[in-house]
Structure 1
Amino acid sequence: MLGLGTLARKVFGTPNDRKVKSVRPIVARINALEPEFAALSDDGIKAKTAEFKARVEKGESLDDLLPEAFANCREAAKRALGLRAFDVQLKAGIFLHQGNIAEMKTGEGKTLMATFPVYLNALAGKGVHVVTVNDYLAKRDADWMGKVYAALGMTCGVVYPYQGEAEKRAAYRCDITYATNNELGFDYLRDNMKSTIEDMAQRGHYYAIVDEVDSILIDEARTPLIISGPSTDRSELYMKVDGLIPQLGPEHFSLDEKTRNVTYTEDGNELIEQILSASGLLPEGQSLYDPESTTLVHHMTQALKAHKLFHRDQHYIVRDGEVMLIDEFTGRMMKGRRLSDGLHQAIEAKEQVQIQPENVTLAQVTFQNYFRLYDKLAGMTGTAQTEAEEFAEIYKLGVVEVPTNRSVARVDEDDKVYRTAREKYEGVVASIKEAHAKGQPLLVGTTSIEKSEHLSKLLTDAGVPHNVLNARHHEQEAKIVSEAGKLGAVTIATNMAGRGTDIQLGGNVEMKVLEAIAADPHLHPDEVRAKIEAEHADEKAAVVAVGGLFVLATERHESRRIDNQLRGRSGRQGDPGRSSFFLSLEDDLMRIFGSERLDAVLSKLGMKEGEAIIHPWVNKSLERAQAKVEGRNFDIRKQLLKFDDVMNDQRKAIFAQRLDIMQAEDIGEIAADMRLQVIEDVVDFYMPPKTYSDQWDGPGLKKAVMEKLNLDLPITDWVAEEGVDQEAMRDRIVAQSDAMMAEKLAGFGPETMRNIEKQVLLQTIDGKWREHLLTLEHLRSVVGFRGYAQRDPLAEYKTEGFALFESMLNGLRQDVTQKLSQIRPMTQAEQDAMMAQIVAQQRAAAPAPVVVAAEAPAAADVAPAPAARLAGFDEADPATWGNPSRNDPCPCGSGERFKHCHGQTAV
């Protein structure tokens, strides 16, 4: 008997079915327009784009334009690529335009499908970003789909690492820009460190489509993007601390694999205190618990993590004397990415490679907060349904499962669970040999480089020819994956390496055509394609006959989504296929999540050597364990985001202020407001409101005005005057300060003065923001301990973070005011002295002159005039020195500033 829920779904359909059904009328309208657009000339298609842009400018909505725009784009793609989009691709394109994630199976044509919503939204003229998982795919897709955009009369650019600034700015100014998530995030941070609008690359965040959206917005979202600069070098300390770790035994630390955390036990703390004292790193009489030992404890903790949590060829590889991190989800090298807080240096010490200096954070952002900047966001992937809750809660994105163009014919077998890893690998090799013997192509999934190379060795010993695809062979990734569907091919892939490249049965036609033309450029492309397509049809038929692509996974991943992604590489576009997972009780997931009970059950069943248990219940049990891990990881990301949201509000305020300053023609008013606020704060501090004059601190106020405003005023006399109150004092100081700044304005000239104000303001903001980021990092590292006092760490972080931000803004006003008050135009004597100094440096650095011909002496060869010495100057009598300010030229005639010369000894 059917349950009520099942019955309702059968009658009314699932919510997903209803969404898919709702767009059918729109697809019918697009199809009805096909003859009209097919009749257009190539120029007519481009003219339609110009017409659509004009209609958008007049106020017509993109929703109203959608059927015509999609019909125009389909016709352009048909002519440019020879591909006509299926109805399911149009449906998915509509969902992307509406700001959803379209879940489409592998091989359903996501790359082409994205051109429809991209084209429609690019008509608004604000720029559309298409986000890919790696640079190869960004360049490939921009080049491939760029033909469609060119046929539509639109520009397409690509952004990649180490690109020239001018080229990068041009790419962002195109109608459509392809880029990786990392490059987009870093460019956003770099833009907010620039000093002029013209230098900024990005022009806003209007609409983005994220390819492999689960990988980018979920898997990579735990690590923030950080731009950093080098700090002091502490290589020696890292090496010394690293040498102490081997002295620790298992009883000295506690390792929690579930949370990936390692801490010292009480015995461990006692031991490291002893060995640090013995090695001279901990001064005599100083305890590990003293505040002075904080840095040392931090180094010891990071060294322990480096040894016990991070393993070579799993979490990182060493290449050319450099520690390169490996993305745990894709198996790809993350070039240029480093672990923060000294952990990367600890790993470098462990591997005995050159230790790069630690870095200071200059700017940072999480992927969550970067992608939430966009007015509209959309995504596409083969697997998103398992994370639908997170997409909805964090990004306000719905997930729509788009039906396949042809029914899936893949057979998904139940998992095979073995007692030991050895038995599992024996079963894997036997299964591979059996499939390979009949010519069936295999894609074998592993979870680490180490395991892929172990399996590679076993296959080599068994005489099975194969390709290995992991972080070590990243360069050949697309080529290896494109050939994974050939007859008899065996490809070992680390996790989801090769995502984004289609595995076609019989091999990838596009890749073969490109290779053939690259080998002989004189060949005619159409002839090459016809020949290769004929050969491919025969090979595809042979692969179909042996059962299609066999996906064999050697382990389950923590996330069901990664398993589904691997499984989905087989059975594209209705092709036959097969998938199977081989597991053992020694696998990480099984070992960490309660394999003891299962081991006991299997022992009672009396399983023989090499036997596997195969049952749907085992699959269900494993999926429940994976769901728990996914839930925990979601909580980690959610917590990370809650903390980052505090910083994000402040980041947006600072970046917005920087933008206002760069866009403003004249920021004199901003600088004047800051100066006024500083004067008010100073007067209120030394002459507190509602106090009597005998409680005022005249000398303190005089000193503060001299320091902050560079004004030597008779404040003690003013304080003693009858009837002077705080307001009168404030007005007098403001008047004197305004007069001084007016004098500077006249001396520099309006344009120079505005440039000085702008640069001082921007540089001070950047410096203060860097300091603030470091303070917030330190606050965050200790705020967790407030939980022991029954106080919410997040609430504490918000409160203190806000107070620190207020303090930073206050410090910013004071620093800007102080710097602007102290600058002044150079006197003629100072200019002469500076020119003399430059000439002297040039002479010292220049090679001996070679006389070529007798000519008039160049200006640089004329001896400089000496700096003027004050008449009556007596070295021993400061009274004869006049009254120079700190930055005036020294009266002795040295050419140095007074503060660097005789001013150092002046009392």
Structure 2
Amino acid sequence: MALMSRVGRRLRRIIQRPASVELTRYEALLPAIGEREAELEKLSDAELTDAAARLRETEAFGTEQYVELCALGREAARRALGERAFDVQLLGTMGLLSAHVVQMATGEGKTLAGALAAAGYALQGKRVHVISVNDYLARRDAEWMRPVYDLLGVSVGWVEPALGAAQRKDAYAAEVCYGAVSEIGFDVLRDRLVTRVEDLAQPEPEVAIVDEADSVLVDEARVPLVMAGSVDAGIADEEVATIVRRLRLGLHYETDPDGRNAWLTSAGASVVEKALGGVDLYGDDGADRLAAVNVALHAHALLTRDVDYLVRDGKVQLINASRGRVAELQRWPDGLQAAVEAKEQLPPSERGEILDSITVQALIARYPQVAGMTGTAVAVAEQLREFYKLEVAVIPPNTPNIRQDRPDRIFSTPGRKLRAIVEEIRTVHENGRPILVGTQDVAESEELAEKLAKADLPCVVLNARNDAEEAAIIAEAGTYDAITVSTQMAGRGTDIRLGGADGADRERVAELGGLHVIGTARYPSSRLDDQLRGRAGRQGDPGSSVFFASLNDELVLANAPDVPEGIEADPETGEITDPAAHRQINHAQRVAEGVDLEIHRNTWRYTRLIEHQRAELLEHRDEVLRTDLARTLLAEEQPGRCEELAESVGEETLTRVCREILLYHLDQLWADHLGYLGNVRETIHLRALAKEQPLDEFHRAAIPEFHKIRAEALKRSAKTLTEASVTEDGVDLAAAGVRRPTSTWTYLVQDNPFDSDAEQALKKVRGMLRKKRT
């Protein structure tokens, strides 16, 4: 019977939870962990720390060590936080220690499970980075969990943009370091430019525990983090921006259904050519003006203020679509960034030469061991396996989820949908239940807030404009009578307690039905829907959720615009109950998810080669940085000059000078190589028209150029060594005509933000056909 029961459980797990790791071996350890509890309670704090220290003496972590770590961690959390870890949290800890992505429901204590796992890795002598989605969560979790780490004898730190070089180095020196994925990635890029070993911030990577793993590992995997060196101010064509502002959709330009592309009509081309003084945009002399027109048209037609970006403090600030937050360091490629700034009549921001870049996927691939945690992992289990070789472990909730998820309510138009949302809020608000409304973007959140104010339903708005107030707003979102309207900011990493921060009205709110979550539209990913729903029903709390949708929502228009005929709406309310409408919206969401996956795959096909080349060059650079290799190589190239300098400035100075010169040229040639590869990527779609495989052509272009870098760097270094002025203080590279940028800066940029290679090719063909017709 026991065997049949185990087989039955496994069959149910396979059927209900695809790609889920079997948890039986971890569950079997829970009684032993419980047996240690009474004994550990008798220990003093110092004795508890000593008991944890003994784990450091173990060569390999096995069953016995898992039991001891979880028992010690439970006791440390009880003392430090007043929280006794649930069995399911310890299952999550063991899943993380086994290098899985654990799926734990909202409010089930992922933060503590992650901290205990990080401590477990640290007690094995491994350095751990706990990677978060933003700086706020990284600092919050590090400070919150510090007392637990202290009791376990594990050092902890965190990195954030405000830290200086020395503080940053100290943070990474801790056994466990928390940081946002972008901040850790930027430090990797900064380390790739240092010329002295002591300036390196990060030690070699060992273990990454990724919070909100599906967001970091899937949604942002293709986003390159960029390190740039200052060149000059960006340049936008103000004349073109003014002309494009006057163009009208449908007459002068058209856009494709998914809003990823825009192009001039023949009438639009004529208007622009005339306004520019009769230039032939499609002639040999008009190429530069055509490029300026195209980028200005993209800024005008495809990017919307308060949806794609904000204008704040005289600057264009991009909004991260999956989080609803301002992406502090994110920008578009230089030409488009300048075009948006011209559109908003702002001065162009600083332009940079790209020195290096790395995708989030490549950043995570640096770690020999990776684990992760999130509330929505099963939906992307196949991608986690394909791109990271990670398996998902679904942790059951400590208390069954009793949240009521109502079916979507679908309407014929967004206007009628909005009226129904206001009415829903009014109805639920009458009895005092707290309401959280999740909107798609800043503009929609503010429009809904205005509608609610007119309906005498006051609300608090949380969006990218007031993200500094996030913690305070979220803390009170579960308060009696509260209405909170938020972008996707409230969809991840937030814990809404019934009754507010102090829980004073918890029972009163629970009796009313708990938090009610309303989605104003379905998101492009079902995981984002589930994250928003998950704000209610925390740890067995009552709660409910409902999504409103329209067949004219952006999701449907962009991904499944061909709505089946015969779907009818109620003539008074505009509500649609036909099951075909539900199927259409679900289909649109699946198409959107499929498009994102294909972009991810396509981007990784190209960046995989670049990452291989980067790793090979960095291995050589690291050898130059840490040894006397540069001196040896340059002595072979310029023996006379090296002997002369050895006598005049000394061996030590000569070695340092050779190293600086060779590192400079390696870094400059790598930056040039990235620029070359960028140009190849931009034109590779033309190969598709010639029936060639774009990826094969990319490899054919990229590999020979890369193999020239080391020899060319040595050749240039020998020339610089001969021409540069070298004294006992070192080398004056600037006087020799070679110098590093006076300042460096970092940003994120969406790879291929508007269209695929195929769409680019079609655009070119359409442009040529239109030109022929005129």
TM over 0.5: yes
Counterpart among 412, 419, 422 of residue 412 in structure 2: 419
| Whole-angstrom CA distance in 1 between matches of 2:110 and 2:436 | 21
Q: What is the aligned partner in structure 2 of residue 179 from structure 1?
A: 179
Please give the secondary structure, in 2, of the residue aligned with 1:358. Answer: strand
| Whole-angstrom CA distance in 1 between matches of 2:700 and 2:62 | 43
Q: What is the aligned partner in structure 2 of residue 30 from structure 1?
A: 33
Change (3 A) 1:405 1:666: same
Whether the 8 Å contact between 1:744 and 1:824 is mirrored in structure 2 is no
Deviation string, structure 1 residues 722-745 (Cα, Å, up to 9, x no partner)? xxxxxxxxxxxxxxx534533332
Change (3 A) 1:92 1:206: same
Change (3 A) 1:18 1:52: closer
Q: What is the aligned partner in structure 2 of residue 60 from structure 1?
A: 60
Q: 1:593: Cα distance to partner? A: 3.8
Please give the secondary structure, in 2, of the residue aligned with 1:105. Answer: coil
Deviation string, structure 1 residues 833-874 (Cα, Å, up to 9, x no partner)? x9xxxxxxxxxxxxxxxxxxxxxxxxxxxxxxxxxxxxxxxx
Change (3 A) 1:287 1:352: closer
**One-letter amino acid of the structure 2 residue matched with residue 601 of structure 1:** G
Q: What is the aligned partner in structure 1 of residue 239 from structure 2?
A: 240
1 or 2 for the larger relative contact order (CA 8 Å, sep ≥6)? 2
Q: Which runs of 5+ in 2 are unaligned?
A: 1-5, 736-774
Change (3 A) 1:472 1:669: same
Whether the 8 Å contact between 2:634 and 2:642 is mirrored in structure 1 is no
Q: What is the aligned partner in structure 2 of residue 92 from structure 1?
A: 92
Q: What is the aligned partner in structure 2 of residue 113 from structure 1?
A: 113
Deviation string, structure 1 residues 441-470 (Cα, Å, up to 9, x no partner)? 101111011111111011101101211111
Q: 1:772: Cα distance to partner? A: 1.4
| Whole-angstrom CA distance in 2 between matches of 1:104 and 1:759 | 49
Change (3 A) 1:18 1:766: closer
Q: What is the aligned partner in structure 1 of residue 645 from structure 2?
A: 744
Q: What is the aligned partner in structure 1 of residue 622 from structure 2?
A: 659
Change (3 A) 1:742 1:566: same
TM-score, normalised to structure 1, is: 0.76
Counterpart among 618, 626, 633 of residue 670 in structure 1: 633
Deviation string, structure 1 residues 605-637 (Cα, Å, up to 9, x no partner)? x62121422466644442232112101111101
Counterpart among 690, 693, 700 of residue 792 in structure 1: 693
| Whole-angstrom CA distance in 1 between matches of 2:174 and 2:559 | 50
Query: 35-44 vs 177-186, which deviates more?
Result: 35-44
Change (3 A) 1:384 1:68: same
| Whole-angstrom CA distance in 2 between matches of 1:804 and 1:62 | 48
| Whole-angstrom CA distance in 1 between matches of 2:257 and 2:447 | 23
Q: What is the aligned partner in structure 2 of residue 646 from structure 1?
A: 609
Q: 1:64: Cα distance to partner? A: 5.3
Matches within 5 A, 1:366-381: 366-381=359-374
| Whole-angstrom CA distance in 2 between matches of 1:507 and 1:423 | 32
Q: Does 1:314 align with 2:307?
A: yes
TM-score, normalised to structure 2, is: 0.89
Q: 1:436: Cα distance to partner? A: 0.5
Counterpart among 524, 542, 559 of residue 576 in structure 1: 542
Please give the secondary structure, in 2, of the residue aligned with 1:408. Answer: coil
**One-letter amino acid of the structure 1 residue matched with residue 602 of structure 2:** Q
**One-letter amino acid of the structure 2 residue matched with residue 310 of structure 1:** L
**One-letter amino acid of the structure 1 residue matched with residue 435 of structure 2:** L
**One-letter amino acid of the structure 1 residue matched with residue 389 of structure 2:** K
Q: What is the aligned partner in structure 1 of residue 664 from structure 2?
A: 763
Q: 1:398: Cα distance to partner? A: 1.2
| Whole-angstrom CA distance in 1 between matches of 2:336 and 2:64 | 54
Change (3 A) 1:349 1:541: same
Q: 1:672: Cα distance to partner? A: 4.0
Q: What is the aligned partner in structure 2 of residue 400 from structure 1?
A: 393
Q: What is the aligned partner in structure 1 of residue 133 from structure 2?
A: 133
Matches within 5 A, 1:768-783: 768-783=669-684
Q: What is the aligned partner in structure 2 of residue 870 from structure 1?
A: none
Please give the secondary structure, in 2, of the residue aligned with 1:14. Answer: helix
| Whole-angstrom CA distance in 2 between matches of 1:484 and 1:114 | 25
Counterpart among 538, 555, 558 of residue 524 in structure 2: 558
Whether the 8 Å contact between 1:314 and 1:450 is mirrored in structure 2 is yes
| Whole-angstrom CA distance in 1 between matches of 2:447 and 2:518 | 16
Deviation string, structure 1 residues 399-428 (Cα, Å, up to 9, x no partner)? 222111111111111111111222111111
Figure out how many residues of one structure are paired with residues of the other and give that number: 720
Q: What is the aligned partner in structure 2 of residue 144 from structure 1?
A: 144
Q: Does 1:364 align with 2:357?
A: yes
Q: Does 1:602 align with 2:601?
A: no
| Whole-angstrom CA distance in 1 between matches of 2:55 and 2:652 | 43
Q: 1:212: Cα distance to partner? A: 1.1
| Whole-angstrom CA distance in 1 between matches of 2:644 and 2:548 | 81
Q: Which runs of 5+ in 1 are unaligned?
A: 1-6, 510-535, 676-736, 835-907
Counterpart among 17, 20, 24 of residue 23 in structure 2: 20
Whether the 8 Å contact between 1:324 and 1:335 is mirrored in structure 2 is yes
Whether the 8 Å contact between 2:410 and 2:576 is mirrored in structure 1 is yes
Whether the 8 Å contact between 1:478 and 1:498 is mirrored in structure 2 is no
Please give the secondary structure, in 2, of the residue aligned with 1:131. Answer: strand
Q: 1:826: Cα distance to partner? A: 6.5
Whether the 8 Å contact between 1:496 and 1:566 is mirrored in structure 2 is no
Identity of aligned residues (%): 35
| Whole-angstrom CA distance in 2 between matches of 1:62 and 1:642 | 38
| Whole-angstrom CA distance in 2 between matches of 1:804 and 1:289 | 31
Change (3 A) 1:78 1:818: same
Matches within 5 A, 1:823-838: 823=724
Whether the 8 Å contact between 2:259 and 2:302 is mirrored in structure 1 is no
**One-letter amino acid of the structure 1 residue matched with residue 490 of structure 2:** A
Please give the secondary structure, in 1, of the residue aligned with 2:400. Answer: coil
Please give the secondary structure, in 2, of the residue aligned with 1:324. Answer: strand
**One-letter amino acid of the structure 2 residue matched with residue 340 of structure 1:** P
Query: 86-95 vs 336-345, which deviates more?
Result: 336-345
Query: 292-301 vs 140-149, which deviates more?
Result: 292-301
Q: Does 1:623 align with 2:586?
A: yes
Change (3 A) 1:29 1:614: farther
**One-letter amino acid of the structure 1 residue matched with residue 494 of structure 2:** T
| Whole-angstrom CA distance in 2 between matches of 1:66 and 1:11 | 23
Q: Does 1:807 align with 2:773?
A: no
| Whole-angstrom CA distance in 2 between matches of 1:287 and 1:355 | 24
Q: Does 1:508 align with 2:501?
A: yes
Q: 1:28: Cα distance to partner? A: 2.8
Structure with bigger gyration radius: 1
Please give the secondary structure, in 1, of the residue aligned with 2:258. Answer: coil
Query: 262-271 vs 178-187, which deviates more?
Result: 262-271
Please give the secondary structure, in 1, of the residue aligned with 2:178. Answer: strand
| Whole-angstrom CA distance in 1 between matches of 2:282 and 2:584 | 46
Counterpart among 723, 727, 730 of residue 822 in structure 1: 723
| Whole-angstrom CA distance in 2 between matches of 1:621 and 1:602 | 11
Q: What is the aligned partner in structure 2 of residue 225 from structure 1?
A: 225
Please give the secondary structure, in 1, of the residue aligned with 2:437. Answer: strand
Please give the secondary structure, in 1, of the residue aligned with 2:29. Answer: helix
Change (3 A) 1:543 1:415: same
| Whole-angstrom CA distance in 1 between matches of 2:230 and 2:644 | 40
Q: What is the aligned partner in structure 2 of residue 491 from structure 1?
A: 484
Counterpart among 41, 46, 56 of residue 44 in structure 2: 41
Change (3 A) 1:293 1:98: farther
| Whole-angstrom CA distance in 1 between matches of 2:560 and 2:240 | 36
Please give the secondary structure, in 2, of the residue aligned with 1:102. Answer: strand
**One-letter amino acid of the structure 1 residue matched with residue 300 of structure 2:** H
| Whole-angstrom CA distance in 1 between matches of 2:63 and 2:645 | 57
Q: 1:105: Cα distance to partner? A: 0.9
Q: Does 1:467 align with 2:467?
A: no
Q: 1:297: Cα distance to partner? A: 2.4
| Whole-angstrom CA distance in 1 between matches of 2:172 and 2:194 | 16
